[in-house]
Amino acid sequence: MSRYSTAVAVSILLMSASACVGAPTGGEGAVSRPAMAAYFDCVRDGGVAISAHRAVSAPDQPENSIAAIEATGRAIPGAVLELDAVLTRDGHLVLMHDETMDRTTTGRGRVADLTLAQVKAARLKASNGALTEAAPPTLAEALNAAGRVGAIASLDLKPADGATTVDLAKTIIAEVRRSGAQNRVILITYNDADARAVAALAPEMMISAGLDGVEDLDGLNPAQILAWTGTREERPGLWSALRQAGVEVQFGTLGAEGRRRDDRYAADGDVSEYRDLFRQGVTVIATDTPLAVQSVLGAEVAKAAACRRPR
């Protein structure tokens, strides 16, 4: 049997062995499903989820801010909010995309060299450059805000200072558990090895894993996986194979301003290309313009929002 065939067979067996959320699978060594797996299975059946890059849905919102989390979560039912968490010098997790404070706040210097108090003394700049009165939030504050608006937090595991993804994941997973947010987070990884390691650390949480083929599911629990398939090219063949293996497909239209698909789609005033992605099998569209996606796929977003979410 080929490696590809083996992966598909394993996927089917795992899906059938764990059809109910939280139900015992019966049998020693059986693989369990995260509580949120059934929700994404439901979304995959005719719905779509919108993932807002750094949680932003309008230019007056600072990226990775409580204001963006609340506004986007209220505007888009079941929104997935991509967030970036980094460690301060004194071991606190705060939201910040860059290693330094300079671009998005009034602060200066590397987050890893600053205390939480120093980070909190800074004020966030909105995406349009306007100064706000808000301080960078902690991860715990962000998770609580996402919970209040019914959003899913998708946490990017990009470590600084030579630390490993697994090191950062351990800290983030502990914070997620302390916040009681296990059933409303996704942990983002970038390669097979990290995906397997993080999935083992947090079997109750969903994992975003970069996949180039169904064979990349080897060593992973397909019910736990959302497949990240990049931003560069549409791959309906891969998307179909992943869906048949019971894995939800993610595709990104985000990126550098002027070059990203979001801007190319909007150039002629018609953003119907988002519907083409949905028709080709994409379940989660990661975007810098989430309201534009919703304008095209509002019915599909509403259908996804009707899917039962774990508490």
> Domain residues of the chain, as ranges?
33-94+138-305
* pLDDT for 21: 37
C-alpha–C-alpha distance, residues 248 and 149, integer Å: 23
Does residue 163 carry a pLDDT above 90? no
What the block records as the tokens of 285 is: 């569209």
- Among the residue ranges 5-14, 34-43, 77-86, 129-138, the one predicted with the least confidence is 5-14
Work out the average pLDDT over 130-141: 98
What pLDDT was estimated at residue 164?
Answer: 87
Secondary structure class of 310 (helix, strand, coil): coil
Global model pTM greater than 0.75: yes
Give every CB contact of residue 293 below 8 A, 6+ residues apart in sequence.
Answer: 50, 253, 271, 274, 285, 287
pLDDT in tens, 14-41: 443 333 333 333 344 556 899 999 999 9
Give the mean pLDDT of 283-302. Answer: 98
Beta-sheet strands, E only, within 41-111: 49-52, 80-87, 93-95
| Mean pLDDT, rounded, for 185-189 | 97
**Angle value at C-alpha 72, between 67 and 73, nearest 5 degrees:** 100
Residue with tokens 């569209």: 285
Tokens coding 279: 């028709």
State the Cα–Cα distance between residues 7 and 168, nearest whole angstrom: 29
pLDDT attached to residue 30? 56
Could you tell me whether strands 284-287 and 152-156 are parallel, antiparallel, or unpaired per DSSP bridges? unpaired
**Residue-level pLDDT at 309:** 95
Q: Which amino acid is at 76?
A: I
Q: Is the dihedral of CA 192, 216, 243, 240 positive or negative?
A: positive
Residue 106 has pLDDT above 90, yes or no: yes
Cα 19 to Cα 64: distance, rounded to the nearest angstrom:
35
Which residues are CB-neighbours of 136 under 8 A, at least 6 positions away? Answer: 64, 65, 94, 95, 96, 101, 105, 119, 120, 122, 124
Mean pLDDT of 114-126: 98
Task: Give just the sign of the alpha carbon dihedral 163, 53, 286, 9.
Answer: positive
How far CA 30 is from CA of 17, 33, 164, 246, in Å, comes to 8, 10, 29, 17
Rounded to a whole number of angstroms, the CA Rg of the chain reads: 19
Give residue 299's pLDDT.
98
Token couple for 307: 């899917």
Q: Using one digit for the tens of pLDDT, what is the confidence trace for 236-289? A: 999 999 999 999 999 999 999 999 999 999 999 999 999 999 999 999 999 999
State CA 266 to chain mean position distance.
Answer: 24
Confidence band of 135 (pLDDT split at 50, 70, 90): very high
pLDDT of residue 23: 36
- State the Cα–Cα distance between residues 152 and 215, nearest whole angstrom: 28
Q: Are the C-beta atoms of residues 51 and 287 closer than 8 Å to each other?
A: yes
Residue 51 to residue 42: CA distance in whole angstroms: 17
Q: What is the dotted CATH code of the domain comprising 33-94+138-305?
A: 3.20.20.190
Instruction: Kindly list the distances between the CA atom of residue 201 and the CA atoms of 36, 76, 77, 195, 241, in Å, as whole numbers in the listed order.
Output: 17, 30, 29, 10, 27
